[in-house]
Structure 1
Amino acid sequence: MHGRIPPQFHEFTGMYGNTKAWGEDQTALVLGQVGTSYAIVRFFSVYGEPQTEKPNSHSWVVAWFAARAHLGLPLHLNGGGRQVRDLVHVDDNAEGTLRALVSPRAHTETVNIGTGVPTTVRKVAELVQEHYPYTEFLTTPLPAGDPLGGYAATRRMENVLGWKPRITITEGVDRYVRWLRRTPAATPAWLANTAAA
């Protein structure tokens, strides 16, 4: 899905989106009936230190690209990397969640925790490449079912929480790379073994 996602939808559809929507409905139904205050937050693409990539999972694009570039491996851009994500640094994600817990205006509200900024996967690769200039890009086919993505509608978040995320993707990638260089053990052993093979 290209472009801005309506507030009632999460970044992805399918099984994940359906179960998330079901959980939100159940929260409102159960807690609403007993008069318990609640707030529902919708996370988008959370990234940041100390996140590290797991085998056979390429969903954490900042960690995935940074670790591969750190090891001198090429970055695979499925479909040329035109997919869009709303990348939210973990520090901002945590702050937004805490604000939803304590803000009186968040009572029974559902808010996206996102930047409202569309970032392509290619842009992430280019930001990582600035730190590792010899990193190569390989264009690979777009897997069937790979979502083209989208980004958060943030007006309600800003109105309800009186806040918006502060860490840009450029700063976030810079912070992640600096952390990775300071923490060599964070590079996944399975990926390092792949590079050595």
Structure 2
Amino acid sequence: MSVLVTGTAGFIGSHVAQRLLARGERVIGLDNLNDYYDVALKRARLARFIEHPHYTHLQIDLADRAAMEHAFATYRPQRVAHLAAQAGVRYAAQNPHVYVSSNVTGFLHILEGCRQHLVEHLVFASTSSVYGANTDMPFSEHRSAEHPLTLYAATKKANEQMAHSYAHLYGIPCTGLRFFTVYGPWGRPDMALFLFTEAILKGEPIKVFNHGRHKRSFTYIDDIVEGVLRTLDAVPAKDPRWDSLAPDPACSGVAPYRLFNIGNERPVELMQYIDVLEQCLGRKATMEMLPLQAGDVPDTEADVTSLIQTVGYRPQVSIETGIDNFVRWYLDYYGT
């Protein structure tokens, strides 16, 4: 099978590409290698598989319409795992146009490529951030999420609605995955675990927002990748129940469209997360306690019942194992 994976120099995309190659698929990888964070880390991720005989790499910006049209026409992927985006909740406050260009215009180019070349299935990354002001937990994709609190979340909510419209109009099977706080080896330097580890090793204080009282559905990268691959293989169809039920945000009777949460069902308090990191590093953290940041939600908790029922997905990796794996990778990669 030929699979276009966007964001293959990124955290999740690089892991997904590697797993697809390991199971024998042909992967067309796409990434613009922007400098939002360390490009050397992105290149190091790519170096793990860029020479694989079944891998083709394209350095393209999603917002470049002509380049995207050429990529689809040349390589004609059977399926697409769209994992590229301008990431980072807070970066959007200073660079809003970048988010719309990459996450909205870029996603339109993905949808158009799928339409023009009869792609069998599009799986795309959304985010738990779309739940925004919602306080009804655990967060369920079967309930409305109409009040995102950041531009990043708003662009991802727009992706979900754009995908449904294309699924309806053109019959493109589309599946959106709302990721919950992903961590692990080769992670992003702007994420808490990376920042905490770097600061603790340097003897610098870590910034603990909301005084460490919030909880997150921290999800290890291997569990996320397993869910992505299982979902990619489960092509959705119209849900015939829609005619007799109230409209459901997660599925549709008029389109081959599904929306799933993908995350750990067991949320962990930030202070426990930090405690496990301290144990793995063998060092104590100096903490600067701060209020909740603008746009952040106090807690997240994933209801993944639908994903379990549909593809048999259930996270397996504990935070103790996951954080230890990250620390071992970090010390090896940076030689600390």
- TM-score computed with the length of structure 2 as normaliser: 0.49
Closer, same or farther: CA 80–73 of 1 in aligned 2, 3 Å: same
Partner of 2:332: 182
2:71 aligned residue:
none
Match of 1:57 in 2: none
The aligned runs of 1:66-145 (5 Å cut-off) are 66-104=197-235, 108-131=257-280, 132-145=282-295
Per the alignment, residue 138 of structure 2 pairs with 4
Distance across 2 between alignment mates of 1:145 and 1:41: 21
Deviation at 1:16, TM superposition (A): 2.8
Of 132, 140, 148 in structure 2, the residue corresponding to residue 13 of structure 1 is 148
Change in Cα spacing, 1:79 to 1:102, as seen in structure 2 (3 Å) is: same
- Report the counterpart of residue 23 of structure 1 in structure 2: 159
> How far is 1:172 from its partner?
0.9
RMSD between aligned residues: 2.3
The 3-state SS of whatever aligns with 2:261 is strand
Structure 1 segments unaligned to the other structure (5+ residues)? 55-59, 188-197
Q: 2 CA distance for matches of 1:135 and 1:150?
A: 24
- Distance change >3 Å, CA 110–CA 66, structure 1 → 2: same
Kept after mapping to 2: 8 A contact 1:74/1:137: yes
- CA apart distance, 1:9: 5.9
The aligned runs of 1:48-59 (5 Å cut-off) are 48-54=184-190
Correspondence for 2:178 among 42, 64, 68:
42
**Do structure 1's residue 161 and structure 2's residue 311 form an aligned pair?**
yes
Contact 2:167/2:257 (<8 A) preserved:
no
**Relative contact order, CA 8 A, sep 6+: which one is greater?**
1
Return closer, same or farther for 1:49/1:5 CA change in 2, 3 Å cut-off: same
CA contact (8 A) 1:86 1:114 kept: yes
Bigger drift between 76-85 and 157-166 goes to: 76-85
- TM-superposed CA distance for 1:117, in Å, is 1.5
Q: Secondary structure at the match of 2:207?
A: strand
Q: For 2:188 and 2:155, how far apart are their aligned partners in 1?
A: 25
Could you list the runs of 5+ residues in structure 2 that have no partner in the other structure?
A: 1-134, 238-255
- How far 1:105 moved relative to its partner? 5.8
Cα deviation, residue 32, structure 1: 2.4
Letter in 2 for 1:124: Y
- The Cα offsets for residues 8-53 of structure 1, whole Å up to 9 and x where unpaired, read as 467x932233322221111111122222222111111111111242
Which structure has the bigger radius of gyration? 2
How far, CA to CA, are the matches of 2:136 and 2:208 in structure 1? 18
Q: Distance in 1 between matches of 2:296 and 2:235?
A: 38
User: Does structure 2 conserve the Cα–Cα contact (< 8 Å) formed by 1:52 and 1:64?
Assistant: no
Give the whole-Å Cα distance in 2 for the aligned partners of 1:142 and 1:21: 23
Letter in 1 for 2:229: L
Query: Bigger shift: 78-87 or 141-150?
Result: 141-150
- Structure-1-length-normalised TM-score: 0.80
Residues in 2 aligned to 1:28 and 1:144: alpha-carbon distance in whole angstroms: 30
SS at match of 2:289: strand
Aligned mate of 1:61, from 171, 186, 192 = 192
SS of corresponding position for 2:222: helix
**Could you tell me whether the CA contact under 8 Å between 1:85 and 1:119 is conserved in 2?**
yes
Task: Indicate if the aligned counterparts of 2:215 and 2:298 stay in contact, CA closer than 8 A.
Answer: yes
- Alpha-carbon distance in 2 for matches of 1:16, 1:92: 24
Change (3 A) 1:184 1:101: same
Please identify runs of 4+ aligned residues in structure 1 that moved more than 4 A: 104-107
1:101 partner SS: helix
